[in-house]
């Protein structure tokens, strides 16, 4: 669009961007660079800052050789892969279901937005009460259905705790996948299915030949979005388990939080944060590539 | 109905029934807990419905008596409202021109992706320097500090959503206004924004939901009723030694009402936002 000359056009473009860029540079750019700088020092959150000295790569060497931190990375990966895996499969299945014709369809479509809208902290608190070992409704339900013999401590057992947290997370987050896939399903031309049916393709073949390619773009964007979020998981862990029992749910975000704000070791906390940030950056780059491809296709 | 169609129809209805139960049961239980007495909730085997509805929890939350749960809740509600609305307003003020620039002046898309990427980095990459800066500026435990941080969470997202929308506004309408002598800001204000009212609404709703939900920064940067938001207050209630289950359930119900009502009644615009945005989890 050529309203005005090239140079003043450029100035206008940057002028409009200025407020946003100023805020982002000061409140995310500066702290990000600072975190990286902190990671090379032995800064502590207590005492004076006078004695701070550069320690080179010591914090990073410490972080990467820390077996507890490696455990935390594995836990975050487990949480991310299992919860997002279930969310994607369940999300697509529910989207396919809600794309069928049935009485009350509009109402049910509205209903599944509710878990997604529930605040994360309320969801975590709600499930913590549901799983309560002494009088929670999960125990009551399974006992009254004779599925278990007696009440159990679902969040107190290192063997079950992670999966129980994942269940709570899936319940809240799979609707995002459903909503995105459902939107994509609704624009697939029905003629494609009619033609395929004439060629003798059954529902299974129709799904893989027609539906799946059509929803793949939006689905992969949703998947990466959830993956990045799940890898960073903190809130639900903090409320439901505080990383316990026996560190069974101590994910990377929780680990860095403790290093910085419980043990007050800012320098080494920053090094852990940089490592976590770099791992996220890989996922984010993948996501941005997918998002750009989606934009081009649209 | 032919036999061929009966089985799939039955399957669909069974699936829908299961879906409805699985969606509503936990929510219904949260509500039931909030109107039950502690005695009802702690009997084994559990009675699913209380003998009579007990609204005293909600009444207790409507009190400003010093050091009461009600006071903690009402202040947190105030702080959450203040933070969400202020941060959303600032994000829109800065996001609209930025989105317009990305939409109409080509060649800076890399920058937009960079901003989006930065905002998706984990908060742990930013918390320490921000903590030190807020501490030096005496902004710890203020609503202002949260507004500043939340702007950076809302801005990339609002910018992206509005940019996608501005792309769909026909350029010819703006050119006509330009020929009539309107300046760039005049065109945005009087032509582009009125056409994009729906998108502005969607962006504002998402922004409020995002800010309402934030927990990590609020946990780190606030420490009493002056600045604690609802998620932090709920975290405190849930961590107390003698947990009052029905009381925190009531807090949970009240804290969920605004986002749940928004989602329920504004669903159309939210889904449009999800489909075009794809940048909020």
Q: Assess if residue B57 is contained within a domain.
A: no
Share of chain B above pLDDT 90, in %: 41
Residue B187: which CATH number? 1.10.3720.10
- Tally of domains in chain B: 1
Buried b (16+ CB within 10 A) or exposed e, B94-110: bbbbbbbbbbbbeebee
The answer to whether B97 contacts A173, with C-beta atoms less than 8 Å apart, is: no
Residue A169: closest C-alpha in chain B:
B281
Residue B38: closest C-alpha in chain A:
A135
Does pLDDT of B159 surpass 70? yes
Q: Assess if residue B123 is contained within a domain.
A: yes
Q: Assess if residue B46 is contained within a domain.
A: no
Q: Could you give the CA distance from residue B83 to residue B251 in angstroms, rounded to a whole number?
A: 19
**Local confidence band at B4 (pLDDT 50, 70, 90 cut-offs):** low
Q: Assess if residue B2 is contained within a domain.
A: no
Residue that wins the pLDDT comparison between A199 and A45:
A199
Q: Assess if residue B43 is contained within a domain.
A: no
Q: Assess if residue B12 is contained within a domain.
A: no
Does pLDDT of B281 surpass 50? no
What's the alpha-carbon Rg for chain B, to the nearest Å?
A: 24
**Local confidence band at A2 (pLDDT 50, 70, 90 cut-offs):** very low
Does pLDDT of B264 surpass 80? yes
**Local confidence band at B48 (pLDDT 50, 70, 90 cut-offs):** confident
Chains A, B: CB contacts within 8 A come to 285
Quick one: pLDDT at residue B2?
56
Residues in Cβ contact with B184 at an 8 Å cutoff, skipping those fewer than 6 apart: A3, A12, A16
Summarize pLDDT for B161-180 with one digit per residue, the tens: 898 888 888 888 888 887 87
- Over residues A30-47, mean pLDDT: 85
Residues 111-140 of A with CB under 8 A from B: 111-122, 125-130, 132, 134-135, 137, 140
Does pLDDT of A164 surpass 90? yes
The answer to whether A24 contacts B120, with C-beta atoms less than 8 Å apart, is: no
Looking at every residue in chain B, the average pLDDT score rounds to 87
- Choice among A170-184, B100-114, B134-148 with the minimum mean pLDDT: B100-114
Asked if residues B148 and B137 have their Cβ atoms less than 8 Å apart, the reply is no
Query: What would the two tokens of residue A291 be?
Result: 């998002």
Second CATH level (architecture) for the domain A67-297: Orthogonal Bundle (1.10)
Looking at every residue in chain A, the average pLDDT score rounds to 88
Residue numbers of the domain that contains B151:
66-277
The answer to whether A225 contacts B270, with C-beta atoms less than 8 Å apart, is: no
Q: Assess if residue B38 is contained within a domain.
A: no
């Amino acid at each position: 669009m050529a309203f005005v000359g090239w140079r003043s056009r450029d100035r206008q473009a940057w002028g409009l961007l200025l407020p946003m860029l100023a805020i982002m540079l000061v409140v995310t750019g500066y702290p990000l660079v600072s975190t990286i700088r902190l990671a090379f020092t032995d800064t502590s959150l207590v005492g004076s800052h006078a004695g701070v000295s550069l320690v080179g790569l010591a914090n990073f060497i410490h972080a990467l050789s820390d077996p507890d931190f490696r455990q935390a990375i594995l836990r975050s990966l487990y949480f991310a892969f299992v919860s997002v895996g279930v969310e994607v499969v369940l999300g697509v299945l529910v989207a396919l279901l809600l794309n069928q014709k049935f009485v009350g369809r509009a109402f049910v479509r509205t209903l599944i937005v509710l878990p997604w809208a529930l605040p994360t902290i309320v969801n975590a608190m709600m499930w913590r009460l549901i799983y309560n070992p002494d009088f929670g409704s999960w125990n009551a339900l399974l006992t009254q259905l004779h599925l278990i013999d007696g009440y159990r401590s679902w969040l107190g057992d290192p063997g079950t705790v992670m999966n129980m947290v994942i269940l709570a997370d899936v319940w809240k987050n799979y609707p995002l996948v459903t909503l995105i896939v459902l939107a994509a399903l609704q624009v697939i031309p029905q003629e494609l299915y009619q033609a395929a049916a004439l060629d003798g393709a059954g529902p299974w073949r129709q799904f893989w030949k027609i539906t799946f390619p059509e929803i793949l773009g939006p689905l992969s964007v949703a998947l990466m979005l959830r993956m990045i979020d799940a890898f960073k998981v903190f809130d639900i862990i903090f409320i439901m388990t505080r990383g316990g029992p026996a560190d069974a749910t101590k994910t990377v975000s929780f680990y860095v939080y403790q290093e910085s704000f419980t043990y007050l070791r800012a320098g080494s906390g920053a090094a852990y944060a940089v490592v976590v940030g770099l791992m996220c950056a890989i996922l984010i780059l993948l996501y941005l590539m997918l998002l750009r491809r989606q934009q081009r296709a649209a | 109905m032919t036999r061929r169609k009966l089985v799939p129809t039955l399957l669909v209805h069974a699936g829908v029934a299961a879906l409805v139960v699985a969606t509503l049961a936990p929510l219904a239980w949260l509500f039931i807990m909030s109107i039950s007495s502690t005695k009802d909730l702690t009997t084994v085997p559990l009675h699913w419905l209380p003998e009579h509805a007990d609204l005293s929890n909600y009444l207790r939350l409507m009190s400003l008596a010093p050091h009461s749960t009600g006071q903690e809740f009402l202040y947190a509600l105030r702080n959450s409202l203040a933070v969400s609305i202020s941060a959303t307003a600032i994000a829109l003020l800065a996001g609209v021109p930025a989105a317009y620039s990305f939409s109409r002046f080509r060649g800076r898309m890399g920058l937009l992706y960079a901003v989006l990427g930065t905002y998706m980095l984990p908060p742990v990459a930013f918390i320490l320097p921000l903590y030190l800066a807020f501490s030096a500026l005496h902004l710890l435990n203020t609503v202002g500090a949260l507004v500043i941080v939340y702007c950076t969470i809302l801005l990339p997202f609002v910018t992206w959503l509005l940019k996608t929308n501005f792309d769909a506004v026909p350029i010819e309408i703006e050119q006509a206004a330009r020929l009539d002598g309107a300046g760039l800001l005049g065109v945005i204000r009087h032509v582009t924004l009125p056409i994009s009212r729906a998108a502005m609404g969607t962006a504002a709703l998402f922004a409020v939901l995002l800010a309402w939900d934030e927990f990590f920064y609020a946990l780190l940067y606030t420490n009493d009723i002056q600045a604690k938001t609802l998620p932090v207050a709920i975290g405190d209630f849930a961590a107390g030694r003698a947990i009052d289950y029905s009381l925190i359930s009531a807090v949970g119900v009240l804290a969920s009402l605004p986002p749940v009502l928004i989602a329920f009644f504004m669903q159309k615009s939210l889904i449009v936002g999800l489909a075009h945005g794809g940048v909020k989890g």
